[in-house]
Amino acid sequence: MKNYYEILEVNRKASKEVIEKAYHVLAKKYHPDLYDGIKKQYAEKKLKEINEAYDILSDEFFKEQYDNELEKQEELNRQNKYIQQKYEKSRIQTKEQETVKKENITNYKPGTFGSMVELTKMVFHDFKNSRKRRAGEFKKDPKKNAIAIILTIIVVIIIGVILWFIPFTNGWMRELLFENPLFNWIGALF
């Protein structure tokens, strides 16, 4: 939608006299007889816009209708801008959450118990959220960390049992369990 106020270079609250004066000044400035060639074509086009703007803004009825339409257009533009800002904000928050997830993984050295706990928490959290999204529920579970630790311990035990029964790792597992002072101390407790 063309902004006739900008075309006539006046304020929206300009009086009829100000609009008329601006029209006469611009009509003289862009009169096609003052120019040659390409500038003449531009002046003709500009004069048509000026005449159209003056025809609408000089008539009270058309001016009122135009002002209402312009106000609706500006409100729509404000709403679109607000929606765009909300979208950008949510997109930035999503990127920040992804960065935090990546940082949580990289906080621990690979192969440590802490990295396994973080990895299990992340997998469990992603699995649980995908289930919640399908079910349409979004509730936080305060027991998530405890469950992740229990799952990690179970995974470590299963890996240990598998390594125990593989012939070439059996000797290494026996050495780890029976010659390690930590495991000897734990065994002494039982």
Query: Per-residue pLDDT for the chain (190 aa), expressed as one digit of tens each?
Result: 788 888 989 988 888 899 999 999 999 999 988 888 888 899 999 999 999 999 999 989 999 998 999 898 888 888 888 888 888 888 787 777 776 655 555 555 666 666 667 777 777 666 656 555 544 444 456 566 777 778 888 988 898 888 888 888 888 777 777 787 877 777 777 6
Give the total number of structural domains in the chain.
2
Same domain, 58 and 124: no
**Is 10 inside a domain boundary?**
yes
**Is 87 inside a domain boundary?**
no
What the block records as the tokens of 183 is 């495991």
pLDDT for residue 18: 92
* Most distant CA atoms of the chain, gap in Å: 108
pLDDT for residue 26: 92
Three-state DSSP at 184 gives helix
**Is 97 inside a domain boundary?**
no
Among 80, 98, 129, which residue terminates a domain?
80
119: number of Cβ within 10 Å: 17
DSSP secondary structure code for residue 107 in this structure? T
1: number of Cβ within 10 Å: 11
Lookup result for tokens 């959450």: 97
Residue 14: give its domain's CATH number. Answer: 1.10.287.110
Which domain does 64 fall in, by range?
4-80
